[in-house]
Amino acid sequence: MDFAEAAVRTALNSASYVSPRLAGKAAFRLFRVPRGRSRLRPGERAVMDRAEVSGIAVGGEKAVSYRWGTGERPVLLVHGWESRGSRFAALVSELLDLGLSPVAFDAPGHGEATGEATTIVDLRDIVMALNWEHGPFEMVVAHSLGATATFLAVQELGLRAERVVAISAVPDFAYLVDRFCAGLGLRARLNRELRRRIERELFPGEPDIWSRFSVPRKEVEGMSFLVVHDEDDDLVEPAHSRALAGALGDRAGLVVTRGLGHRRILGDSQVVAAVRDFVVRERAARPVRPTGAARPAAEPDRSPRPAAG
C-alpha cells in the first residue's frame, strides 16, 4: 500500500468512528468513480483510426462505439472497469484477419465517452444495444467487470452468441465491494455502509443485486466458452475462473497464463492466439451460419437506468 492509500485508509477508518454516514459517503465516492480515465496508447492508435465511430445513449450519458470490418460475422468486445475499447487493439487485428467484424465501445466515464462513471447495468444495456444494432454476435470477448455484465445480459435479457470468452472475470458484484474494502483496509462497518449506499443510490428498486450480478453457476445451453485468467492477477483470484470453467461444463475451455496480471493480459500474444484458436476450432465444429442472419425478435429493454454518475 502506498502513502496515498494508507492516508485514505486511516482517514476513512477514523471517520467511521465519528460519523459512519460521512465515512460511507466518502468510500462510496471512491468506489463508484474510476480513479482515472485511461488514455489511448500509441500502439493502439493505428487500429482505432480505422474504426467507424458512433454514439450510444445510456444512463443519461453517451457511450462511444467502434466498428471494424464488413459487418459479417460480428464479434463484440466488452471492456472492464477503468479500461477502454482500445485495449482490444491486438485482438481486433487478429479478428479482422479471420474475416470477423469486431465491435468495441467506451462506457460512460471511460475512454472517449462522456460522464463520470458507469454501472454494471449500464454495461449490460450497452451490450444489448450493440447486439440489436450489429448482432447477433458470433462471439463476445469480455474482460473483468465486462464479463460479469455480459453474463448478466445472457441471464436477464437473452443475449446469445455462439461463443463467449471471459477474461479475468469478476465472479460477482459483492466480490468487487469486498476487494475494494480489503485493498484499503476498511473496517467491516464501512463495508456494510458502502453496500447500503450502493443499494440505495446506484440501484434503487432493483431486486437483490448481490445474487443477480454474478456469473452463471451452471452451464448455458447452446454456447461455447473460453475462460482465461492469469495466475498473478492481483485484483481477481484465478480460483474464480477455474470455478467458472468447471460450472460451465464440457463446453468451456480454460487457459491460465503467468506474469500478466489483471490488465496486461488483454494485449498478450498468447491470449490473442488462444482466442484465435478458439474461433477456428469452434467454427470448424459448427455448421456455417447464413449471412444476413435475422436480428433478435424484439428490441432489448432500453428504459432509463440509474446512472453511476
Query: Which pLDDT tens digit goes with each residue over 235-253?
Result: 999 999 999 999 888 889 9
* DSSP-based three-state secondary structure for 233: coil
Q: Do you find a cis peptide bond into 74, omega within 30 degrees of 0?
A: no
Q: What percent of the chain has pLDDT over 90?
A: 62
Q: Alpha carbon of 278 to those of 90, 225, 274: distances in Å?
A: 16, 9, 6
Residue-level pLDDT at 218: 64
Q: What is the pLDDT of residues 11-55, one digit of tens each?
A: 665 555 545 667 778 788 888 888 878 899 999 999 999 999 999
Q: Report the alpha-carbon distance of residue 238 to residue 167 in Å, rounded.
A: 10
- 120 contacts 148 by C-beta, under 8 angstroms: yes
Residue 294 has pLDDT above 50, yes or no: no
Strands 101-106, 74-78: pairing kind = parallel
Residues 31, 214, 90, 245: what is their CA dihedral angle, to the nearest 10 degrees?
A: 140
Nearest to 231 by CA among 210, 267, 211, 256: 256
Q: What is the pTM of this model?
A: 0.87
SS (HEC) of 152-176: HHHHHHCCCCCEEEEECCCCEHHHH
Strands 74-78, 61-67: pairing kind = unpaired
The answer for residues whose C-beta is within 8 angstroms of residue 255's C-beta and 6 or more apart is: 226, 227, 228, 229, 271, 274
Q: Between helices 20-32 and 173-184, what is the axis angle to 10°?
A: 110
- The C-alpha cell that represents 60 in the structure block: 443519461
184-189, long-range: CB within 8 Å, 24+ apart, which pairs?
Answer: 184/5, 184/8, 184/9, 184/12, 184/27, 184/30, 185/1, 185/9, 185/13, 186/9, 186/12, 186/13, 186/16, 186/27, 187/13, 187/16, 189/16, 189/20
Place of cell 468487487: 176
- The C-alpha cell that represents 234 in the structure block: 492481483
Q: What is the pLDDT of residues 102-155, one digit of tens each?
A: 999 999 999 999 999 999 999 999 999 999 999 899 999 999 999 999 999 999
Residue-level pLDDT at 64: 97
Q: Report the alpha-carbon distance of residue 154 to residue 161 in Å, rounded.
A: 9
Residue-level pLDDT at 299: 43
Residue-level pLDDT at 26: 79
Strands 52-58, 61-67: pairing kind = antiparallel
